[in-house]
Structure 1
Amino acid sequence: MSDIAIRPATAADIPVISELAGVIWRAHYPGLITHEQIDYMLAQRYNPIALAEEIETVGHRLDALWMDGVIVGYANYFRYSPTEMKLDKLYLHPDLHGQGHGSRLLEHVFDESRKAGCSALILCVNKGNEKAMKSYLRNGFSVRESICVDIGGGFVMDDFVLEKSLA
């Protein structure tokens, strides 16, 4: 049986999470977005400086999922409104999909959001990301709205906003 733990990421974890993001995104997103957009978003949101800012920002959490001493996944979330937490990132190494580890990480975010006094969790998911949509719907989320956000560089995020009541 594997030794599994979820704990807040530290500055020392940032290079590993940044590298893991590249592995995950390059395995998962081709076909959903272009390779150019993948590279743009990795450079914009997953560079070590951006990740370090997230762990240093009050109210933001970046928690790592460890398995046998290795970071294999992570979740980034923050208070979006007085009653809502927003899950900004939840990713797991592709070799571990379908084993319940993503749901375990999601349950951790539910628990931490409740502890923070939030009654709902929201997130955005690419409209074409059927695998993630199925997982989130299976975990009690519903579609709140459809959005398309310009993220610069000539790219957009064409997403559904999902929400789950934590009551």
Structure 2
Amino acid sequence: MLVHHQHPVPLPPSSAPSAPAEYLEYPYNAHISSPTAVQLRSKPINIEALAPRTKPSFTIRTATIADAPAIARLGSTVFSTTFGFSIPTNDLNAYLTEAYSVEAIEEDIRCATKHILVASSERSSVPNGLTADANEEDGEEEIIGFAQLTEGTSEPCISDIPSIAELQRLYVSTAFHGYGVGKFLASQIEDVARRLGYRALWLGVWEGNFRAQKVYEGLGFVKVGDHEFKMGQCIQMDWIMSKEL
């Protein structure tokens, strides 16, 4: 982020089943001039998604070093799924190695200015058909999401906002979208920021991530500017959003 600003993952706009137009997961296309110009199509309705869903139980806690492998796997998977089609493969792989290796996550957890929370669930309490991490054993705790508050980062468009910290990451396993995991993680990160004395939050969200933009607006964030987000030779544009606490 001067230090890197990771794209927070899209949160579900609601728990109601729907079949919105979403990005095609095409291989990277160098002829697309802007991330917002990617092709769209309407995906067919998933009939199973229309059935009532049992909400999994989960808890929010501070991340430990032992969580680093699960956080790294989840972060890499969700980032690739959400943004991989818009980034050349070599640049994507280099970025994932830099940001989501186990060693990188361990360093983040140890850093005094980075505060990571995880959403965890006992696998025995997860409804049938849901799983975030096939590497976990039955009965073990499963990391289904995580969020990161980072102190000391800024952008020119927010330099006049006093006492502000960054919601740098907000990732939820796609298997658990629609259950309120991301929203609750965000609220807990806000509580951490308040306890540390901050009065505002900011984040960066990709200009082509329309669902996330709407969700963050619903959480009280407003667009205040933009900046370039570089991964190798690939440059994308992020919205900068902020909110008062």
What TM-score, normalized by structure 1, do the two folds share?
A: 0.90
Q: Which amino acid is the alignment partner of residue 142 of structure 2?
A: V
Does structure 1 residue 154 correspond to structure 2 residue 233? yes
Shift, 1:78, TM fit: 1.6
Q: Identify which range, 112-121 or 82-91, moves more after superposition.
A: 82-91
> Who is 2:118 aligned against?
64
1:21 Cα deviation from its structure 2 partner: 1.4
Query: Do the aligned residues in 2 keep the contact of 1:32 with 1:129 (CA within 8 Å)?
Result: no
Provide the rounded CA distance (Å) in 2 between the counterparts of 1:130 and 1:160.
11
Matches within 5 A, 1:74-85: 74-80=146-152, 83-85=163-165
Pairing of 1:135-150 with structure 2 (within 5 A): 135-150=215-230
Summarize the alignment of residues 105-144 of structure 1 with structure 2, pairs less than 5 Å apart. Answer: 105-144=185-224
Q: Please identify the structure whose Cα radius of gyration is greater.
A: 2
SS in 2 for 1:77: strand
- Aligned equivalents of 2:117, 2:79: Cα separation in 1: 18
State the partner residue of 1:43.
97
Q: Distance in 1 between matches of 2:106 and 2:84?
A: 26
By percentage of residues, which structure has more helix?
A: 1
Who is 2:159 aligned against? none
Name which structure has the greater RCO, CA cutoff 8 Å, separation 6+. Answer: 2
Alpha-carbon separation, structure 2, partners of 1:31 and 1:134: 21
Structure 2 counterpart of 1:52: 106
Which whole-Å CA distance do the structure 2 matches of 1:30 and 1:131 have between them? 17
Which has a greater percent of strand?
1
Query: Which shows bigger deviation, 5-14 or 35-44?
Result: 35-44
Which ranges of 4 or more aligned residues in structure 1 deviate by more than 4 Å?
none
Structure 1 residues not aligned, in runs of 5+: none
**CA contact under 8 A between 2:113 and 2:152: conserved in structure 1?**
no
Tell me, in whole angstroms, the C-alpha distance in 1 between the residues paired with 2:225 and 2:236: 14
CA-atom RMSD in angstroms:
1.7
Please say which of residues 23-32 and 108-117 is displaced more in the overlay.
23-32
- CA 1:131–1:34 in structure 2 vs 1: closer, same or farther (change >3 Å)? farther
**In structure 2, what is the Cα distance between the partners aligned to 1:40 and 1:125?**
20
Displacement after TM superposition at 1:40 (Å): 2.6
Structure 2: which 5+ residue stretches go unaligned? 1-54, 123-140, 154-161
In 2, distance between residues paired with 1:119 and 1:45? 28
The worse-fitting range, judged by mean Cα deviation, of 15-24 and 73-82 is: 73-82
Give the count of matched residue pairs: 165
Tell me the distance in 1 between the aligned counterparts of 2:197 and 2:165.
9
